[in-house]
Amino acid sequence: MASLDVFSSNAFSMQELTAALLDRPHVPSRLGELGIFEARGVRTLKVSVEKRGSQLVLVQTTPRNAPAIQGQKNLRTLIDVPTSRIAIDDAVTADEVQSIRAFGSESELRTISEELMERLGDHSQSIDATEEHQRIGAMKGTVLDADGSTLIDLFTTFGVSAQAEVAMDFGNTTEGALRTKVNTSIIRPIEVDLGGLPYTGIHVMCSSQFFDDLVAHAEVRNAMKGFPEGMRLLLGRTARRTLDFAGVMWEEYRGAVGATKYVADDKAHAFPVGVPGLFLSRYAPAEYAETVNTVGLPRYVVPNPDNGDTKSRRTFRVQSQALHICTRPRTLFPLRRGA
C-alpha cells in the first residue's frame, strides 16, 4: 500500500520540480520568437555592460615635420544593471487530491504530480507573460513592473536621451510621402545611432489601429498592386499580420494581459534587428544555497518549507531572476498614427 506522506519523496525536491517545469512546452511570446534577445545564464545578480565611446573625426592636415593632431582616447564606462526576481508562491494539499485517490492505490504520486504540473503550467505562463512585458519595455527603453512603476530606465542607465516620437501622418496621401517619412525619420536616424555596427533590418511592432491605418494607406495599396497573394496574406488570413514596406517589417502586436496592452493604442515602436549585443536577456541564480555561484536558469521551482509546510501540505515557489535590456536605447524609435 502506498504511503500517505507523498510529499516526503524525491518527487517534491527542487531538482525534480525544476526539471519537470523546464520539460514543459514553451509558451510562445513574439519577441522571444524573433530571437533578437541574446539569452544566457550568469552567476551574479548584476550584469555589467561596457559602454565605449567611439567617434570618427575629420583630421586637419598639417605641414610636413610639424606636430600632428593628437588622438583622443576612447573612454570606457562599466555600467551595472541589476536583475529582478519574478516569483509566485503556491501550495498543494493532500485534501485537494484525496477525493480522486482509490483506496489501496499506488497512484498518489501520479495524482499529486498532475495537480502540481497544472499549477506549474499556470504559473509558468504568468512568468512568461511577465518576461515578455519586460522585453517590450526593453524595446521601448523603459522596463516597467506589473504595477506600472519603473524597473529600469535604460535612457538614464546609459546616459542618453530618448528619441522624439515620430508622427507618421497617415492622412498625407501624397505619393512617396510615406516612404520618405520612413527613410528620413526611422531608417536613416537608426543607422546614424548604430554607427558602424552591422544590422540586418528594421522591425516595427504596431498597435492594431496603427497597423490598420498603414495597410489602408494609398501608397501601401499601390505598392501591393500586382501581388495578389501578398495582398491576401496582408489582409489577415494568417495567424500573424505583417507587412514588408519601404525596407521595414511592420507587424501587428497583439500581446496583452487583462487591460494592460503591451503596445498602446495608436502607437508603434521601431528597432533594428541583427545587431550583436543590442538586446540582452540574462538569468541569475535563485536565492538558495543550492544555486549560489551557479549559472542561472530561466526558471526555478523550489520547495518553500518556510511558508507553512505540514505533513498534508507542501508549498513551492516558481521564480525567475531575470534581466531584459537594450544596450543602445537611442536606436529605439516610438511612432504614432497622427500628424
Q: In the chain, pLDDT over 90 holds for what percent of residues?
A: 43
Chain segment 175-229, per-residue pLDDT in tens: 899 999 999 999 999 999 998 899 999 999 999 999 999 989 999 888 877 666 5
Residue with the larger pLDDT of the pair 177 and 92: 177
Q: What is the pLDDT of residues 102-144, one digit of tens each?
A: 445 555 555 677 777 788 888 888 898 899 999 999 999 999 9
Beta bridge partners of 150: 144
pLDDT tens, 288-298? 888 988 999 99
pLDDT recorded at residue 27: 45
Which of 1, 20, 15, 22 lies closest to 112, judged by CA? 20
Residue pair 275/190 in contact by the 8 Å Cβ criterion: no
Choice among 55-69, 243-257, 307-321 with the minimum mean pLDDT:
55-69
pLDDT (0 to 100) of residue 1: 35
pLDDT at position 60 is 59
List C-alpha distances in Å: 217 to 169, 210, 221, 274. 10, 11, 6, 28
pLDDT tens for each residue of 311-333: 777 888 899 999 999 999 999 99
The grid coordinates listed for 256 are 496583452
> Stretch 279-289: mean pLDDT, rounded?
91
State the pLDDT confidence band at 241, using cuts at 50, 70 and 90: confident
Instruction: Report the mean per-residue pLDDT for the chain.
Output: 81
> Mean of the pLDDT values across residues 12-18?
62
State the pLDDT at residue 222.
Answer: 85
Query: Which residues face 252 on adjacent strands?
Result: 206
Instruction: Evaluate if residue 4 carries a pLDDT over 70.
Output: no
pLDDT, position 69: 65
Confidence of residue 231 (pLDDT cuts 50, 70, 90): low
Torsion sign across C-alpha atoms 30, 36, 41, 46: negative
Mean pLDDT of the region 5-16: 58
pLDDT exceeds cutoff 80 at 73: no
- pLDDT at residue 25 is higher than 50: no
Closest CA to 34 of 188, 204, 193, 262: 204
Contact between residue 138 and residue 309 where contact means Cβ atoms under 8 Å apart: no
List CB contacts of 146: < 8 A, sequence separation 6 or more: 130, 133
All structural domains of the chain: 6-51+76-150+279-326 (3.15.30.10), 162-277+329-336 (no CATH)
SS3 at position 299: coil
At 209, the amino acid letter reads Q
218-256 burial: b if 16+ Cβ within 10 Å, else e: ebbeebbeeeeeeeeebeeeeeebbbebbebbbbbbbbe
Q: What is the largest CA-CA distance in the chain?
A: 100
More confident residue, 156 or 258: 156
